[in-house]
């Protein structure tokens, strides 16, 4: 039986036609992937299901009955639950884990007088089902890691007895073990008749967990097929409208003197005794699984967190960063993992986001020269291939990949010598990933030093010259990317050690 049917869905925002007759079907007990390049219309289609947007044209059926979903509340009451990629937009950080899990229950009249003991029992049962009993119900949600916040949202949907569960890049903040467990939970929900819409740019995961897949491109539904009867290369071709070209090898580039040196640096919490140097024109990869300390190291180098021990030097001179502005003054810029929360003004235009870091370049006699701003914005949009009707579009309406390009683009005219990228391709399609790889290669050729943090091992091998592997806040291994395999990187990142004289691999607990 079809839990959800969408037919001939159209949606326009201003002059941008986001959906052009799209259609989609979800069956009971099915895991159905929704795929497409950034800007294909996936997010808009899902927001229509979630009651966030209303279609301009088309029909929606839930369990065979025609429905309108005028609000998120109506969608929830229809059994539709969303776990969005940007987890912080769906969590109240100052409330406890318990309050966040039971938010909808507490707000509903029938549950208003439910004793706290019963609320705790229900919440604990959901967390236990996800193997998250280590998460304290009494802690404030803002203290959770990204992975824990994602699992909190999934647990909330389980509590609400969702019949349709939309998972938007659910594995992006999860470790390998957490991903395996999530897939076990999805299989359990599937047996219970729950239909899951699985949105991901990680195609191996799509082929592992889904029953069918639907591909969208330019606001239209291109195809729907059984996953078991589909090849990955065909899916990529349908997503992009062309064959994916092989990634060009890294440009042969000359490296110069050391421009950044970190000596035994620690933040007193996660990062412990890290030392390395970065040369002019070099790309250093920082490999590590979720919780390894990559983001914390990035923020330490970018002045977003305080240095407790050790020294940082730029061009041989010791520097002390009290805030990110100090790092920017030393020509260090940071492209954060959480672009919506830390890298963008979501309610502002592309132009305002691109020009904000260096407004002095666009002012004269105390007045902002908007024409100069527009010229600059149009140039960056063209250079980076940002898909938008014009430079005045709010970044909130851009796809994830295009939002990421805006985050990168705002630093391209800055006198930046050192650029720190933290998971820059998170939630980005395969085509946009290649564009980001090429941009980073270009920046390195121009003499910039690049620090590239990622849990995607193949990505690090594609862009980095050297790779530092982090485990529990420490650098445990340094490798040359040209002589390293994904298996070796994953081994060290998982806490393993390789005995070269025996040619055997031994895993150790960490």
Q: What is the CATH number of the domain that holds 308?
A: 3.40.50.300
Residues 142, 17 share a domain: yes
**Per the structure, how many domains does the chain have?**
2
52 is a domain residue? yes
Residues 265, 234 share a domain: no
457 is a domain residue? yes
Residues 329, 227 share a domain: no
Q: How far apart, in Å, are the Cα atoms of 27 and each of 42, 49, 194, 203, 238?
A: 18, 15, 9, 21, 23
Residues 97, 46 share a domain: yes
pTM of the model: 0.66
Q: CA–CA separation, 452 vs 408, rounded Å?
A: 13
Q: What sections of 116-220 are H helices per DSSP?
A: 116-129, 146-159, 176-191, 203-209
380 is a domain residue? no
What pLDDT shows up at residue 274? 95
Q: pLDDT under 50 in the chain at which residues?
A: 499-510
Residues 293, 420 share a domain: yes
Terminal-to-terminal C-alpha distance of the chain: 46
453 is a domain residue? yes
Residues 311, 193 share a domain: no
SS3 label, residue 371: helix
Residues 14, 101 share a domain: yes
Q: How far apart, in Å, are the Cα atoms of 187 and each of 10, 11, 33, 165?
A: 32, 33, 14, 12
Query: Cβ–Cβ contacts within 10 Å for residue 230, how many?
Result: 19
Residues 160, 11 share a domain: yes
361 is a domain residue? no
501 is a domain residue? no
Residues 59, 118 share a domain: yes
Residues 189, 40 share a domain: yes
What pLDDT shows up at residue 117? 86
What pLDDT shows up at residue 504? 37
Residues 74, 39 share a domain: yes
Q: CA–CA separation, 441 vs 429, rounded Å?
A: 19
Residues 169, 132 share a domain: yes
129-176 pLDDT, tens digit each: 877 888 999 999 999 877 788 888 888 888 888 899 999 888 876 767
504 is a domain residue? no
Q: Calculate the CA 317 to chain-centre distance.
A: 35
Tell me the residue range of the domain where 337 lies.
258-345+415-494
381 is a domain residue? no
Which of 238, 270, 292 marks a domain boundary? 238
């Amino acid at each position: 039986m079809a839990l959800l049917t969408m037919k001939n869905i159209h949606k326009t925002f201003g002059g941008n036609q986001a959906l052009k007759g799209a259609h989609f079907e979800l069956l009971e007990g099915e895991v159905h992937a929704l795929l497409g390049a950034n800007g294909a219309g996936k997010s808009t289609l899902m927001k229509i299901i979630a009651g966030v947007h209303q279609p301009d044209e088309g029909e929606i059926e839930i369990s065979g009955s025609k429905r309108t979903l005028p609000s998120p509340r109506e969608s929830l009451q229809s059994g539709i639950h969303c776990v969005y990629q940007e987890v912080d937009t769906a969590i109240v950080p100052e409330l406890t884990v318990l309050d966040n899990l039971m938010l909808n229950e507490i707000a509903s009249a029938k549950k208003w007088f439910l004793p706290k003991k019963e609320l705790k029992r229900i919440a604990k049962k959901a967390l236990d089902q996800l193997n998250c009993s280590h998460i304290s119900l009494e802690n404030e949600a803002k203290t959770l890691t990204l992975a824990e916040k994602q699992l909190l949202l999934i647990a909330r949907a389980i509590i609400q007895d969702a019949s349709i569960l939309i998972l938007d890049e659910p594995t992006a903040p999860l470790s390998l073990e957490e991903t395996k467990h999530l897939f076990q939970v999805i299989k359990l929900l599937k047996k219970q008749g729950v239909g899951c819409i699985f949105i991901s740019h990680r195609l191996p995961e799509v082929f592992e967990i889904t029953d069918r897949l639907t591909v969208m491109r330019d606001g239209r539904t291109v195809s729907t097929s059984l996953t078991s009867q589909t090849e990955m290369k065909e899916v990529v071709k349908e997503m992009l409208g062309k064959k994916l070209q092989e990634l060009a090898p890294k440009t042969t580039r000359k490296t110069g003197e050391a421009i950044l040196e970190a000596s035994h640096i620690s933040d007193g919490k996660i990062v412990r005794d890290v030392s390395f140097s970065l040369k002019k024109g070099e790309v250093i990869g920082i490999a590590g699984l979720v919780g390894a300390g990559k983001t914390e190291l990035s923020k330490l180098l970018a002045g977003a967190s305080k240095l407790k021990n050790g020294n940082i030097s730029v061009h041989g001179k010791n520097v002390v960063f009290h805030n990110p502005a100090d790092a920017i003054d030393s020509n260090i810029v940071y492209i954060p993992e959480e672009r919506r929360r830390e890298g963008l003004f979501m309610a502002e235009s592309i132009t305002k986001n691109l020009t904000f870091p260096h407004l002095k370049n666009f002012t004269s006699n105390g007045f902002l020269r908007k024409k100069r701003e527009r010229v600059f914005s149009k140039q960056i949009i063209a250079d980076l291939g940002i898909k938008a009707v014009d430079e005045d579009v709010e970044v909130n309406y851009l796809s994830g990949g295009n939002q990421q390009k805006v985050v990168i683009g705002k630093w391209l005219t800055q006198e930046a010598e050192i650029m720190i990228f933290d998971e820059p391709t998170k939630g980005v399609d395969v085509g946009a990933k290649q564009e980001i790889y090429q941009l980073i290669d270009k920046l390195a050729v121009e003499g910039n030093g690049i620090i590239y943090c990622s849990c995607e091992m193949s990505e690090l091998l594609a862009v980095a010259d050297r790779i530092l592997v982090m485990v529990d806040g420490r650098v445990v291994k340094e490798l040359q990317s040209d002589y390293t395999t994904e298996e070796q990187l994953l081994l060290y990142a998982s806490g393993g050690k390789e005995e070269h004289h025996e040619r055997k691999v031994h895993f150790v607990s960490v």
